[in-house]
Copies of this chain bind each other. A is one copy, B any other.
Amino acid sequence: MKVELFALEGLPDVLPGDDIAELVVLAIRKLGERLQVGDIVVVTQKIVSKSEGRLIRLGDVTPSPFALQWGTANGTDPRVVELVLRESRRVVRMDRGVLIVETHQGLICANAGVDLSNVAGGEVATLLPIDPDASARRIRAGLHAAAGVEVPVVISDTFGRPWREGLVNVAIGVAGLSPLRSYVGSRDPQGFPLQATVEALGDELGAAAGLVSSKLNRTPAVLARGILYEAGDGSARDLIRGAERDMFR
């Protein structure tokens, strides 16, 4: 078994209203490849947010007194703190200058995915897509229209983790596949029941895409070929542990 990961480089700077699926299909053609049944397309959140116009000028943001106080005390732009709080349903940790929240999408991450880099002018923030699964479904439909093939789509974003240094990409939106690969009820080659048996396929795909998409090249999407997956109407919400099963909220 062999998996191939193609960096889809050289996409133009994405603007609100741009069709990500078209850009991806063009980038695949430029590589001399064609989208095939069994392929999976991983797209980074940043270009999805840009295409959906999830941008806000910092100059248009008035921080609340709380955002002003905490931002000033912690060396963070209070307008950014304000945006993070607006994007959040709950603060998980607010300590040592780090703001970890539960977003309206249910994701637990630093700064609610609000990002300032890579946007011309530097004073514009990108916000996460409002419904990343819906974004993935739209791109999947667009790929079908543009290339005639139905393939799963994963939208990835770069997260930190408790206990470990460095960032990895995880899946925040999926369409066309189940993001968990389950071995419950399966047996290993010796015939013993497999114990810890649910694999976070969506997050593995995000992390693998990170291997080929260096931040220094413009590699906002990756084509993955050769991966076994279960087709279906999965949701990236399946990757979020429910509060009742979580000991670290």
Q: Which of A3, A204, A211 has the most CB of B within 10 A?
A: A211
The residues in A between 73 and 123 inclusive whose CB is less than 8 angstroms from any CB of B are 93, 95-96, 98, 100, 108, 115-120, 122
Given A163-B241, A212-B3, answer yes or no on A168-B200 (Cβ-Cβ < 8 Å).
yes
Which residues of B are found within 8 Å of A179, using beta-carbon distances?
166
* A192–B108 alpha-carbon span in the complex (Å): 27
Chain B hits for A98, CB < 8 A? 247
Tell whether A210 pairs with B216 under 8 Å between CB atoms, given A163-B108, A241-B163.
no
Asked whether, in the complex, the Cβ of A168 is within 8 Å of the Cβ of B219, the reply is: no
Q: Is the CB of B3 within 8 A of A215?
A: no
Known: A203-B164, A240-B164. A118 touches B211 (CB 8 A): no
Q: How many residues of A contact B (CB 8 A)?
A: 79
A199 and B4 contacting across the interface, CB-CB below 8 Å: no
* Chain B positions within 8 Å of A211 at CB level: 3, 201, 204-205, 208, 224, 227
User: Is A9's beta carbon under 8 Å from chain B?
Assistant: yes
Which of A50-58, A143-151, A180-188 sits within the interface?
A180-188
Question: Residue on B with the closest CB to A218?
Answer: B189
State the CA gap A188–B47 with chains docked (Å): 14
This protein's copies in its complex: 2
Interface assignment of A221: CB less than 8 Å from any CB of chain B:
no
The verdict on A158 contacting chain B, using a C-beta distance below 8 Å, is: yes
Q: Which residue of B lies closest to A31 (CB)?
A: B2
The answer to whether A1 and B217 touch across the interface, beta carbons within 8 angstroms, is: yes
Beta-carbon contact of A166 and B201 below 8 Å: yes
The 4 closest A-B pairs by CB, nearest first: A166-B200, A162-B248, A207-B207, A208-B208
Known pairs A117-B193, A164-B240, A207-B208. 19 more at Cβ < 8 A?
A1-B212, A1-B214, A3-B7, A5-B5, A93-B247, A95-B247, A108-B163, A119-B192, A162-B241, A162-B247, A166-B179, A167-B200, A168-B199, A168-B207, A186-B215, A188-B215, A189-B218, A204-B208, A204-B211
